Amino acid sequence: MIFLVAAISILITMCLALIRAMLGPTVFDRVLALNMFGTKTVLLICAICFLTERTDFLDLALLYSLMNFIGMVALLRFSHYTALDKEVSQ
């Protein structure tokens, strides 16, 4: 029951992050929403692992938390050296 509450609240937060990722005026808003979405994915995998009583899903959550950080740093280094945003490219 409590795991269902946690999963539903995490899903609501993921929807709000997706709204910001669609609306976001700058590329950094989208990257922030992407980072938040990745963290919430890790939490959702943990909650689903307890919900379905399959504890081997936790390895996936561990892997995903590391992958999220690597992808985030790669995207930021890319946006540091080549301008993703038209407004700041000059």
Q: Which parts of this chain interact with another protein (CB under 8 A)?
A: 2-3, 5-6, 9-10, 12-13, 15-17, 19-20, 23, 26, 28-29, 31-33, 35-36, 39-40, 42-43, 46-47, 50, 53, 55, 58-59, 61-62, 65-66, 68-69, 72-73, 76, 79-80, 83, 85, 88
Rounded to a whole number of angstroms, the minimum distance from the CB of residue 87 to another protein is: 9
Rounded to a whole number of angstroms, the minimum distance from the CB of residue 2 to another protein is: 5
Sequence-ordered list of residues with C-beta below 8 angstroms from that of 13, at least 6 positions apart, any chain: 36, 40
Alpha-helical (H) ranges within the chain are: 2-23, 27-51, 57-81
Question: From CA 36, how far away is CA 40, in angstroms rounded?
Answer: 6
Rounded to a whole number of angstroms, the minimum distance from the CB of residue 43 to another protein is: 5
Q: Sign of the CA dihedral 6, 12, 16, 21?
A: positive
